[in-house]
A and B are shown apart, each in its own frame.
Chain A
Amino acid sequence: MPVIQTQSLNSLRLVSWLPDLDELGELELALDALARDAGVTGESIGVPAHLKHTRCNDFSEVLSLLDESSEVFPNLILISISALAPNIKQHLDRLMKRLDDRYVPLVLLGEGCSSEELIEALENGANDYVVLPADPLLIKVKLQAQLRVGNMHSIMSEQHREISNNHKHILREQQMAKEVFNKVAHDSIELDNITHWLSPIAVFNGDILLATPTPSGSLLVLMGDFTGHGLGAAIGTIPLASTFYGMASKGFAMYDIINELNSKLNALLPTGVFCCACVAQINFQNGIAEVWNAGLPDCYILRNDASLEPIVSNALALGILGPDAFEVESQRYNLTQGDKLYLLSDGLLETENAHGEQYGEDRFQSAIASAQSLDAINDCADGSAFASIKQDVINFIGSQSRADDISLVEIEVVSAQSFSAMYAKSTQKKSQQPASWSISYEFRVDSLRNQDPVPLILHSLLEEPNLRQYSGQLFSIISELYNNALEHGLLNLSSALKEQEQGFAKYYDLRVKRLQNLSDGFVRFDIDCRATSDSGELCVEVIDSGEGFDYGEHNKQTKEQAALHGRGISLLHTICQKVEYVGKGNHVRVEYSW
């Protein structure tokens, strides 16, 4: 695009080609007056200082002055009609072509010219004409009027150029931000039992889908929808996603994660910006799903018997309430293999067809229902059901409408074994190097009182790639060992208490009280790891500052016998190859190999 200089009325760069006009006195007077009006009259020789008048000898000279490189690019062109005649159109076409999208007013001068000639000239690009002889004042005001139009045009062109540059700049930045957003908001969902449809984002639609297996072997999913669109909506996704993945991988409970997400968004986002979300944690081992719906439309559980159960929002969206007022009450569902969970944002229900009708809940429910019967016919879940729901929405909105605000995810309940296989598949990326290391942590009384050390230990264990696929077992080992050391070793709580009526509640009340009053003590973890890509051994020793206990028979027990004792210990026996107490009983050593 050629550069257009902003012209001003007090700078007159005139190009003229007037070969056959003799009496130009009136024109000269008009030009002098024009220059005087602009207040730029030259002092000595009567030539206005800012009037640059280039007189051309032929048409090609005029054209050459219109080149982009021209030093005297004009803001007004004067040509006599008789010089153009009889090929007025051809001349003007060449001139207009040379000007391209630049605008320079062209005024024609003529003596005794015909209406036909004037009409042809005006129709082909000339802006005005003056028939000579004429009053110099009239010539002057006509030229002034044309200069004003030219000036306005160049200002507009300049602004247009600025706006379009800014626009390009914004698009570039948005493109960049969009790449980050897509990575943060939608990456990492590569598990075979999750199928999703996330619209290609026009700019940013503020929808976010996060899913990750947890160390305990469950699946944690979050579907979120931030207020509004654009960067304002997308900006919250980054802290949301990093907190979600960070905490989930360290084994924090869903309840803690939701609380933290809320606090973080409440602290970071301005009032009025929040995130409607549905968070679900599915435990494939026992078939229990905990679901928390905060402001999203009804999500659904589609059961094997084709019944559809809505999961209704019962909470305020993330980021609205401060941490003190915020409470998480999730809903619990028992699921069986083959059941499906659907999470969606309101964009799906509100998407419109050409008649302005919304897709709506009723259509969505029947789409799920017919998808279910399709699955029943095929007798397999191969994603065809999901595809048919998607097709139903696309058929509804038709070809003209855009589907740029749709987020829908289907999670299928599978067996715990298949889920861990899927997890292993999704993490089989890098080759794993042999490793050998040891690490030691000692948690003292302040930490014991105020923090849960399990996520911290687990986090450092899972830094080791060889260990990641065993995160579920590791989580159990570390948390059982820690709880035993704390509850029995330091707090002297007896498991026998739990067998009494309301014993559990009493036990945990006592746990809280004694922990608050604990004035001294520690729990130490010594961890030793030797691993190759397909086998390895992890040895965990836990020593607490407590009294210990008489473990006499414990070490000789078989797995069957151990099952009669506390569930924690029996769990350890199930997972670990070796569980033994040493010293006075405040020291336990377990070996886990794979």
Chain B
Amino acid sequence: MSISAKLADTENELVINVAGRFDFSAHQDFRSAYESLENKPASYAVDMAQTTYLDSSALGMLLLLRDHAGGDNASIRLINCNDDVRKILVISNFGRLFTIQ
């Protein structure tokens, strides 16, 4: 598992890249990826192109990010999800809370 984050060119979107298994072991790194920013960006994207697996604690971490980003007003895209990851997101109905792409 490795987490990296960078601001997109416009500096308005923080893209968090999660590689490998997205589970509880990612907790600290995932959190600090967005908490360490001085200014909150307008929106967030979690890039899961390299995410192999997602468990329910990862869903919990996404909810924490959503809270941090403003709860119901948060703008968060979950991008490049593979089929397995997408399936878990769909079962959990996370499409209601996040934009899944």
Residues of A in contact, count (CB < 8 Å): 21
Pairwise interchain contact A228-B57, C-beta atoms closer than 8 A = yes
Q: B87 CB to closest chain A CB, in angstroms?
A: 9
Residues of B in contact, count (CB < 8 Å): 17
Q: Please measure, in the bound complex, the distance between the C-alpha atom of A272 and the C-alpha atom of B92, giving whole angstroms.
A: 13
Asked whether A295 is an interface residue with its Cβ less than 8 Å from the other chain, the reply is: yes
Q: Please measure, in the bound complex, the distance between the C-alpha atom of A316 and the C-alpha atom of B59, giving whole angstroms.
A: 11
Which residue in chain B gives the minimum CB-CB distance to A273?
A: B60
Asked whether A276 is an interface residue with its Cβ less than 8 Å from the other chain, the reply is: yes
B-chain residues with CB within 8 Å of residue A297 when the two chains form the complex: 91
Q: Please measure, in the bound complex, the distance between the C-alpha atom of A346 and the C-alpha atom of B63, giving whole angstroms.
A: 20
Q: Please measure, in the bound complex, the distance between the C-alpha atom of A316 and the C-alpha atom of B60, giving whole angstroms.
A: 12
B-chain residues with CB within 8 Å of residue A274 when the two chains form the complex: 56, 59-60, 63
Which residue in chain A gives the minimum CB-CB distance to B67?
A: A271
Asked whether A84 is an interface residue with its Cβ less than 8 Å from the other chain, the reply is: no
Pairwise interchain contact B63-A276, C-beta atoms closer than 8 A = no
Pairwise interchain contact B67-A295, C-beta atoms closer than 8 A = no
Asked whether A315 is an interface residue with its Cβ less than 8 Å from the other chain, the reply is: yes
Pairwise interchain contact B93-A225, C-beta atoms closer than 8 A = no
Q: A97 CB to closest chain B CB, in angstroms?
A: 45
Pairwise interchain contact B57-A296, C-beta atoms closer than 8 A = no
Interface string of A69-108 (1 = CB under 8 A from B): 0000000000000000000000000000000000000000
Knowing A225-B56, A296-B91, A314-B93 touch, does A272 contact B61 (C-beta < 8 A)?
Answer: yes
* Interfacial residues of chain A within 291-324, with CB under 8 A of chain B in the complex: 294-297, 312-317, 320
Knowing A227-B57, A228-B24, A325-B72 touch, does A295 contact B63 (C-beta < 8 A)?
Answer: no
Knowing A315-B93, A316-B97 touch, does A227 contact B60 (C-beta < 8 A)?
Answer: yes
Knowing A272-B64, A316-B97 touch, does A295 contact B57 (C-beta < 8 A)?
Answer: no
Q: B52 CB to closest chain A CB, in angstroms?
A: 12
* Interfacial residues of chain B within 28-80, with CB under 8 A of chain A in the complex: 56-57, 59-61, 63-64, 67, 72
Q: Please measure, in the bound complex, the distance between the C-alpha atom of A580 and the C-alpha atom of B59, giving whole angstroms.
A: 59
Q: B28 CB to closest chain A CB, in angstroms?
A: 13
Among B59, B64, B72, chain A packs the most CB atoms within 10 A around the CB of B59
Pairwise interchain contact A317-B61, C-beta atoms closer than 8 A = no
B-chain residues with CB within 8 Å of residue A313 when the two chains form the complex: 90-93
The contact of A320 among B24, B63, B91, by CB within 8 Å, is: B63
A-chain residues with CB within 8 Å of residue B91 when the two chains form the complex: 295-297, 312-313
* Interfacial residues of chain A within 195-242, with CB under 8 A of chain B in the complex: 225, 227-228
B-chain residues with CB within 8 Å of residue A276 when the two chains form the complex: 56, 92
Which residue in chain A gives the minimum CB-CB distance to B95?
A: A316
Interface string of A247-262 (1 = CB under 8 A from B): 0000000000000000
The contact of A295 among B64, B93, B97, by CB within 8 Å, is: B93
Q: Please measure, in the bound complex, the distance between the C-alpha atom of A272 and the C-alpha atom of B94, giving whole angstroms.
A: 13
Q: Please measure, in the bound complex, the distance between the C-alpha atom of A296 and the C-alpha atom of B96, giving whole angstroms.
A: 16
Q: Please measure, in the bound complex, the distance between the C-alpha atom of A227 and the C-alpha atom of B88, giving whole angstroms.
A: 13
Pairwise interchain contact A316-B92, C-beta atoms closer than 8 A = yes
Pairwise interchain contact A294-B93, C-beta atoms closer than 8 A = yes
Q: Please measure, in the bound complex, the distance between the C-alpha atom of A271 and the C-alpha atom of B67, giving whole angstroms.
A: 8
A-chain residues with CB within 8 Å of residue B63 when the two chains form the complex: 271-272, 274, 320
The contact of A271 among B24, B64, B90, by CB within 8 Å, is: B64
A-chain residues with CB within 8 Å of residue B59 when the two chains form the complex: 227, 274
Q: Please measure, in the bound complex, the distance between the C-alpha atom of A313 and the C-alpha atom of B67, giving whole angstroms.
A: 23
Q: Please measure, in the bound complex, the distance between the C-alpha atom of A313 and the C-alpha atom of B91, giving whole angstroms.
A: 5
Q: Please measure, in the bound complex, the distance between the C-alpha atom of A300 and the C-alpha atom of B94, giving whole angstroms.
A: 22
A-chain residues with CB within 8 Å of residue B64 when the two chains form the complex: 271-272
Which residue in chain A gives the minimum CB-CB distance to B56?
A: A227
Which residue in chain B gives the minimum CB-CB distance to A296?
A: B91
Q: Please measure, in the bound complex, the distance between the C-alpha atom of A346 and the C-alpha atom of B96, giving whole angstroms.
A: 21
Which residue in chain B gives the minimum CB-CB distance to A269?
A: B60
Q: Please measure, in the bound complex, the distance between the C-alpha atom of A286 and the C-alpha atom of B76, giving whole angstroms.
A: 45
Q: Please measure, in the bound complex, the distance between the C-alpha atom of A297 and the C-alpha atom of B88, giving whole angstroms.
A: 9
Q: Please measure, in the bound complex, the distance between the C-alpha atom of A294 and the C-alpha atom of B94, giving whole angstroms.
A: 11
Q: Please measure, in the bound complex, the distance between the C-alpha atom of A271 and the C-alpha atom of B64, giving whole angstroms.
A: 6
Which residue in chain A gives the minimum CB-CB distance to B64?
A: A272
Q: A458 CB to closest chain B CB, in angstroms?
A: 34
Q: Please measure, in the bound complex, the distance between the C-alpha atom of A593 and the C-alpha atom of B19, giving whole angstroms.
A: 68
Pairwise interchain contact A228-B60, C-beta atoms closer than 8 A = yes
Q: Please measure, in the bound complex, the distance between the C-alpha atom of A561 and the C-alpha atom of B92, giving whole angstroms.
A: 52
Q: Please measure, in the bound complex, the distance between the C-alpha atom of A170 and the C-alpha atom of B95, giving whole angstroms.
A: 39
Which residue in chain B gives the minimum CB-CB distance to A228?
A: B57
Q: A413 CB to closest chain B CB, in angstroms?
A: 25
* Interfacial residues of chain B within 1-44, with CB under 8 A of chain A in the complex: 24
Q: Please measure, in the bound complex, the distance between the C-alpha atom of A591 and the C-alpha atom of B74, giving whole angstroms.
A: 59
Pairwise interchain contact A316-B56, C-beta atoms closer than 8 A = no
B-chain residues with CB within 8 Å of residue A225 when the two chains form the complex: 56
Q: Please measure, in the bound complex, the distance between the C-alpha atom of A273 and the C-alpha atom of B24, giving whole angstroms.
A: 12
B-chain residues with CB within 8 Å of residue A295 when the two chains form the complex: 91-93
Pairwise interchain contact B92-A317, C-beta atoms closer than 8 A = yes
B-chain residues with CB within 8 Å of residue A346 when the two chains form the complex: 56
Q: A164 CB to closest chain B CB, in angstroms?
A: 25
Q: Please measure, in the bound complex, the distance between the C-alpha atom of A317 and the C-alpha atom of B94, giving whole angstroms.
A: 9
Q: Please measure, in the bound complex, the distance between the C-alpha atom of A295 and the C-alpha atom of B94, giving whole angstroms.
A: 9
Q: Which residues from chain B sit less than 8 Å from chain A, CB to CB?
A: 24, 56-57, 59-61, 63-64, 67, 72, 90-94, 96-97
Contacts beyond the supplied A228-B57, A273-B60, A276-B56: 5 A-B pairs with Cβ under 8 Å: A271-B63, A295-B93, A296-B91, A316-B97, A317-B93
Q: Which residues from chain A sit less than 8 Å from chain B, CB to CB?
A: 225, 227-228, 271-274, 276, 294-297, 312-317, 320, 325, 346
Closest 3 CB pairs of A and B: A272-B60, A227-B56, A295-B92
14 A-B contacts (beta carbon < 8 Å):
A227-B56, A227-B57, A227-B59, A228-B60, A271-B60, A272-B57, A272-B64, A273-B60, A274-B56, A274-B63, A295-B92, A313-B93, A314-B93, A316-B93
